Amino acid sequence: MTGLSSTARPRCNLCASERVGVYHDQGYRRVVKCRDCRLVFVDPLPTPEQKAEIERLAYEGDLLPEVADFFRNCHRDFKDDPVIDAFRHGLRWLGTHRKPGRLLDVGPGTGIFLHLASTEFGWQPFGIDICQESADKALAEFGIALQVGDFDTYPWAPASFDAVTMLDMLEHTLDPAASLRRAWKLLKPGGVIYLAVPNQQCLMTVLLDRYIRMRGPGYRFFLERLYVPPHVYYFNPKTLRRMLGHAGFEILGVSTGNVYLGRYRLPLRMRVPMEIVLHAGKLAGMGAKVLALARKPETHQQPLPGA
Ligand SMILES: [Zn+2]
């Protein structure tokens, strides 16, 4: 992870401001916050090649051993767990605004969300992932043929989907505003987008951010776990809502949800206090995830980038 260097001034992907404050310093990169719109992101951003390598290492579990088991429940004989429940909740929400049709999931990982979308909710599943291994797994486990490639350039016809979903994906992208504009183009008029991203205003993140900035004992451990290499943008309900609006979407709803720690390999002494803080955060409207549903208007033109 060395060699990430850039002399370019960091520029906010949401409001194009170059006024940023350094939030944390991780050595190989800084976590910065836009002074104008509060979007948090890393500087420098990795190159696309570096990003691909980071994702490969993360997927293989070399980078973050505690998430190595993350995909163990993503197979045909999956057991219901809170992650599956959250997927179903999202699909039910989607279904209240659009009849099932062609659904494109961007970054589907193992394909279990698409499997639920097609078998339980009647959607015709499509997906694109940069990782060949994901596509192989989705085909072997669920019989779903994913495209392997870059969402921003893959040659689908405009207005060819009824729904686009991006679950835990946007925080990984190098140009999230462009990815949302691309999703807008690919949606039919009246089509909907459903997103889930980590919430930068999650109670646990807010508390740990303070601890890290105070340089509490072992703060580096928390810094590296909170700001993992595959994540390059950090949203809160407000910044996600605003970026969707800039891309031309009409917001149908934004809420917060939680992560399921049972999928992580965590010692009990860490898991118990984390569960308590996550639960308190959820009650306070500061859950660990931002969930958003938005629609491409039936008639409106997409605003120009930066408008
Ligand atoms: Zn900004």
CA 307/CA 178 separation, integer angstroms:
13
What's the pLDDT at 2?
A: 40
User: Ligand 1 mean position to 292 CA, how many Å?
Assistant: 20
Show the tokens assigned to 210: 């303070």
pLDDT of residue 4 exceeding 60: no
pLDDT of residue 208 exceeding 60: yes
User: Ligand 1 mean position to 19 CA, how many Å?
Assistant: 8
Q: Would you say 226 and 205 are in contact if contact means Cβ atoms under 8 Å apart? A: yes
Q: Any alpha helices (H) in the chain, and if so which ranges?
A: 48-60, 82-95, 112-121, 132-142, 176-186, 203-213, 219-226, 237-246, 268-283
CA 166/CA 106 separation, integer angstroms:
5
- Across the chain, mean pLDDT equals 88
User: Ligand 1 mean position to 7 CA, how many Å?
Assistant: 19
Show the tokens assigned to 188: 């039919």
User: Ligand 1 mean position to 254 CA, how many Å?
Assistant: 20
User: Ligand 1 mean position to 31 CA, how many Å?
Assistant: 14
**Contacts for 145 with CB less than 8 Å, ≥ 6 apart:** 135, 138, 139
User: Ligand 1 mean position to 235 CA, how many Å?
Assistant: 11
Residue 282, CA distances (Å) to 54, 167, 185, 262, 306 in order: 30, 19, 34, 17, 33
What's the pLDDT at 259?
A: 74
User: Ligand 1 mean position to 16 CA, how many Å?
Assistant: 6
Confidence of residue 67 (pLDDT cuts 50, 70, 90): low
CA 150/CA 182 separation, integer angstroms:
11
User: Ligand 1 mean position to 36 CA, how many Å?
Assistant: 5
> Domain spanning 20-295 has what CATH number?
3.40.50.150
What's the pLDDT at 75?
A: 62
User: Ligand 1 mean position to 37 CA, how many Å?
Assistant: 4
Cβ neighbours around 185 below 10 Å, total: 16
Q: Would you say 248 and 302 are in contact if contact means Cβ atoms under 8 Å apart? A: yes
Show the tokens assigned to 30: 């800084």
Output the pTM of the full model: 0.90
User: Ligand 1 mean position to 162 CA, how many Å?
Assistant: 30
Confidence of residue 205 (pLDDT cuts 50, 70, 90): very high
Closest CA to 236 of 290, 175, 287, 283: 290
User: Ligand 1 mean position to 34 CA, how many Å?
Assistant: 5
User: Ligand 1 mean position to 229 CA, how many Å?
Assistant: 21
Q: Would you say 193 and 249 are in contact if contact means Cβ atoms under 8 Å apart? A: yes
User: Ligand 1 mean position to 244 CA, how many Å?
Assistant: 14
- Which residues have a beta carbon within 5 Å of ligand 1, which is an ion? 12, 14-15, 17, 34, 36-37, 39
